Structure 1
Amino acid sequence: MSHSNPPSPHRFAGNGPLKGRIRVPGDKSISHRAIMLGALAVGETRVSGLLEGEDVLATAAAMRAMGASVERGPDGVWSVHGVGVGSLLQPESALDMGNSGTSTRLLMGLVASHPIDVTFVGDASLSKRPMQRVITPLSQMGAAYEARDGDRLPLLSRGISPAVPITYRLPVASAQVKSAVLLAGLNTAGTTRVIEPVPTRDHSERMLRGFGAKLEVGEENGARIITVHGEADLQPQTITVPGDPSSAAFFAVAALLVEGSDLVIENVGLNPTRAALFDVLRDMGGQIEELDRREVGGEPVADLHVRHSALTGVDVDPAIVPAMVDEFPILFIAASMASGTTTTRGLEELRVKESDRITAMANALTLAGARVEEREDGLIIRGTGGDPLPGTPDGAAVTTHLDHRIAMSMAVAGLASSDGVEVDDTTPIATSFPTFMDLLEGAQG
């Protein structure tokens, strides 16, 4: 990501226990899908807790351009009046996706089975991202594409109706490709099937069912098979978007580490494909209790009651890496103050995130006084046994590499340190969690 803003350094230091009740922003994956499916249902869908970031607003603008009414009410509740499956209109100009790969790939699926031509454009970063993985199955269904360099934005999609139902085996684990094919199947007569050798996050399946689509999930030879029946007739819903478990993770770890903390994080999404971190923290001895477990829009949700706890190091099973790939930076903070050693393996994917998160976290933690050994595929961390980390020396700041998760993880480390942790730049935090600093201050008094 390129930032034109000057860096905004900040020193994070302990300011007492975290108390009371907080709410973290809504889940981005679910926010996108609520707007898209609401726009395909006839009648009014109401959405509370929508994540109002630029990516989700790009989805809202696209659905508006194709005939749906998508408006934010004065109470912060969004109202979506949909046009019905099969009734999306030809947009008058190109759809600007900004930086959102999710919007682009899911919407390509949605429009593939409508008889309309849609041009997708995006910012410099999105225009570098390959779209071939969705073009391949959608072309088999009958849609046609013209794109820069074959599969880059700007991209023109020529949809077709009736489209051809297909059975598609995912060559690479991707929830976005799976979702694109299922969304195209909504307006395709017959059964559209996706075969998924490795399970990926299942927000699309859950929400499609919630809106009344006929969808089955089965298993064959160890692979998941998802079948959607078209043409679907979606019913409008009232949805409260669950809080993003990745955002809740920072506050859960802060409350576990800071003495005297007793915090409730409300409305956290606990989809099993996303929430493995909380299980690992419980294995380490963390007191994280689920209150009022419920289902909202097909998603499991609960309020998490977190209390300061003595943690013990663990050997993290590589099999659960996909269900917590974004949460390792904050897990490393918990591990650095546990008793004993925490070992993580199978994390090669972390080297190609917004930054190389393995090296970046090893360097940041070492600067703050933690004992860390870096391996090719993970970190080995010897904890302090519950003592605070020393913190960063005067005049030294941890380098966040413009990576929001490293910035927020080291902020939490600062709260549980003796002398505080200086973070070189907090501007990237706004990309994923604009209210982070305010919530942190509010919870500490």
Structure 2
Amino acid sequence: MAMKNWTAGTQCVAKKEHSKPKAGEIPYHKGDILTLVGPGTRKGEYRARHNTTGDEGLVSGSNFREREALRIDPKLSLMPWFHGKISGMQAVCKLKPMDDGLFLVRESVRHPGDFVLCVCFHQKVFHYRVIFQNNKLTIDNKEFFYNLIDMIEFYSRNRGAIATVLLKPKKKEGTKSAETKLLKSGWLLDLSKLTLGEVIGEGEFGAVFEGEYAGQRVAVKNIKCDVTAQAFLEETSVMTNLHHKNLVQLLGVILHNGLHIVTELMTKGNLVNFLRTRGRFAVSATQLLRFTLDVCEGMEHLESKKLLHRDLAARNILVSEDGVAKISDFGLAKVSSTATDNSKLPVKWTAPEALKSKKFSTQSDVWSYGVLLWEIFSFGRQPYPKMSVSDVRECVDQGYRMEPPDECPPDVYAIMMSCWETDPKKRPSFHKLRDRLEKELSKPHT
């Protein structure tokens, strides 16, 4: 059998029970998930951390399979029971055979924008109008929900004001349940093992909390809006395919109150704030170069997987407890290269060809990386200081490029300028950039 050659950060699922560990080993049950920390002492052996207990020790590679990544599948739905705008009659036709507790949710034809929960009980279909009130949903003015996922979760456990507990979703043709798929591939986490702490950030889509999952400190992004949660399912699929020391690691997701995305906690926050609050007296030139190299290695990994980031900027780089920079927010990371909504593009970081003709590529990520270098060496200043977004677009088109930040090493500025070549083909790859930065790091710096 070919030897497995897994790198640190790979997540593995135990194929069998190991309840009597020898010295230095750790116990695990079939189906448990462990993260590899590094190679062991013997061939085929690894050091690993148990995702649930937090124990670290030696394991035999032959007892494990790699945790399956999720394929990005447009049929995967967090709400397979949602049928869109159909009439009551159409709903009744779909709910066959009329088993007790068979249900679906539809958008009302008579009251567009309102939802209706349709449930079978005693060979009849009951239609419950879901009323939208103060940004929440309710059927009976007693129980209120942020979203449909929440509502269905509640009535699957409690009968409340409806005829019967919801037992079986009637799936819309062509959809698959994301919950089932997440569960099968080992990415669905156990809500009872999660403790939420303080809010540490406000994302555009909801709060980010600090928390603890099975003894490990984690960050939790909670997305309450159904539609957005569905879009984030794609981000999650992308993240299940990536393991690298300079990419924020996904631990899994929880479906409750919408979608919770659970990742490793980066205690030192984002790179902009990290640099602004410390400044040039606290952070050495060597440390700045280390950050640039960290990000470059993470991007080189994305490049090798043919993934684009599309929103590379210091605000999306997080710093770990031990000072390692990691790329986060793969919200826009996509395999394809056509942009979605142009109004949302971060103009000061986006390459001219991407702004003009929506041509995204690794080369446009390299342009953004040049701007990120400028942010790092200016200790977190806003790029193109004192210029409006429309001025930036116009001036950059005419060949304007930013001046080097104060005390920026000339060779580093030369790297920035190479990232800002007008012709995308002339920009270096992340692989090339890494070589240049490593050379720069090996020079003596103050």
Q: TM-score range by the shorter chain?
A: under 0.3
Report the TM-score, using the length of structure 1 for normalisation: 0.28
In our comparison, the structure showing a higher alpha carbon Rg is 2
Report the TM-score, using the length of structure 2 for normalisation: 0.28
